[in-house]
Amino acid sequence: MLLEPPLDPSGDEARSLLRRELLHPEYHQDNLVLRLVNWLSRLLDRGLTEARELPPLTTFAAMLVGLLLLGALGWLVSRARRVQRESSQGRVLRYVVTATAKGVTAKLVAVPASSSMGAATGTRNIISFVSRRYRDEPIVISGPGAGAAVTAAGILNDICALAGR
């Protein structure tokens, strides 16, 4: 016997109806990964069928964008794994600029979470001076960074300056 759901169920009634509905076998025929793979397969098949009718340059551009998106996804996954790996060892990732007499480098570095750089959050800037004398305990200057409002104002100023040229 199938009952009609009320038009305005209470929270408990809605949860009960949802539980009963989700017990139907059609919700559990395939696992989630298989359903996702099937959806992607249908999407790609449809896209490839439609791509046959496009000019070759457009198809090439679409393939290039697809490859770039896959590369970006791979980069995000590797970054997430690195963040997790470093976190398990008590480190965090920070962009660090190093200036020496030989040159300047900028790279993503794992630093101890307990260090001054590791403890920085948000837009905080940290400058650490390391020398022969201050190798073990460098001089550290810390302060607020530009933040969203100042950065947006700077970008707007640059746009206005370019438009005025």
pTM above 0.75, yes or no: no
Our measurement of the distance from residue 165's CA atom to the centroid of its chain's CA atoms, rounded to an integer in Å, reads 36
Is a pLDDT exceeding 90 seen at residue 43? no
Q: Looking at residue 113, what DSSP letter applies?
A: T
Task: Kindly state the tokens that stand for 35.
Answer: 């359903």
Q: Are 144 and 125 in contact (CB under 8 A)?
A: yes
Q: Are 126 and 117 in contact (CB under 8 A)?
A: yes
The pLDDT tens digits for 113-143 are 998 888 888 888 888 888 889 888 888 888 8
Residues 6+ positions from 103 with CB-CB distance below 8 Å: none
Q: Region 152-157: what's the mean pLDDT?
A: 88
Q: Are 91 and 113 in contact (CB under 8 A)?
A: yes
What are the E-state strand segments in the chain?
91-100, 103-112, 125-129, 139-143
Q: Region 144-155: what's the mean pLDDT?
A: 84
- CA-to-CA distance for 50 and 44, rounded, in angstroms? 10
The reported pLDDT for the residue numbered 61 is 85
pLDDT category of residue 31 using cuts at 50, 70 and 90: low
- CA-to-CA distance for 15 and 5, rounded, in angstroms? 12
